[in-house]
Amino acid sequence: MITIRKAIPDDKKDYAELMLTAAPFFPVLFGSPINTILQDLFQRHFNLFSFEHVYFAEVKGEKAGMILGYGWQVKKRESLRTGFLLLKKAGVGLLGKSSLLMKFNQTVGILHDGEYYISNIALYPQYRGMTVGKRLILKAESEARRTGAKRVTLDVNKESIGAINFYNKLGYKILKELFVPLQKDKVLCFKRMVKELKEGVTEGVTEGVTEGRGC
């Protein structure tokens, strides 16, 4: 039995753990205290890491995964506050990463009017292959329609072939590749994927159906 629900502030520990599973490069971007920072921002209103933008999936009452997403209106409204909160929590150490963060923000997560962005999705390993990821994606698409979005976008690691194939099966198409120099010897490579939303299509996945391994 798979259920999808809105996140609540008490989900902070699972949220931070799953976020770092989805984005293992975050400690390089934001510093080693990122787990604590994510938990703090998650509990606050009006920022791009807030519980307000998160849904959790549960299997038989146990947390199985989560998805973070928001529309272009939210991105415009909350980007500045998100940066302020990150700086406040991470301290002066974040100033030394300002150039890297600027490159990242100017490359990943760019939204145009009419777009909804799936920022992060992650599952605990034991729940993969149970349609949990599919249910979360469809919930995000339903939320995107509610906000008036015409398309859903996401950025996926170029090396995550399984994830790319998973999104492709759900109707997402590769638009372009994105590159972010992370360190001298490491470059993050993403594929921007896009799905046009059809009007009148609603969420609908049979609970408990098992798919192939992956999300």
What is the three-class DSSP state of 75? helix
Domain layout of the chain by residue ranges? 2-150
Determine if the pTM surpasses 0.85.
yes
Give dist(CA 207, CA 130) in Å, integer.
9
112-160 pLDDT per residue, tens: 999 999 999 999 999 999 999 999 999 999 999 999 999 999 999 999 9
Instruction: Please name the helix (run of DSSP H) or strand (run of DSSP E) that holds residue 132, with its range, or none.
Output: helix 132-146
> What average pLDDT does this structure show over 35-59?
98
CATH classification for the domain delimited by 2-150, as one of 3.40.630.30, 3.40.718.10, 3.30.1330.10, 3.40.50.2300: 3.40.630.30
Question: What is the rounded average pLDDT for all residues in the chain?
Answer: 90
What is the reported pLDDT for 201? Answer: 58
Radius of gyration of the chain (CA): 17
What is the reported pLDDT for 117? Answer: 98
95 vs 122 pLDDT, higher one: 122
Residue 70 makes CB contacts below 8 A (sequence gap 6+) with 48, 53, 78, 116, 117, 119
What is the reported pLDDT for 192? Answer: 98
Scored b (16 or more CB within 10 A) or e, 57-95 reads bbbeeebbbbbbbbbbebbeebeebbeebbeebbeeebe
Residue 212 falls in which region: left (phi positive, over 0), alpha (psi -120 to 50) or beta: beta
91 pLDDT band (50/70/90 cuts)? confident
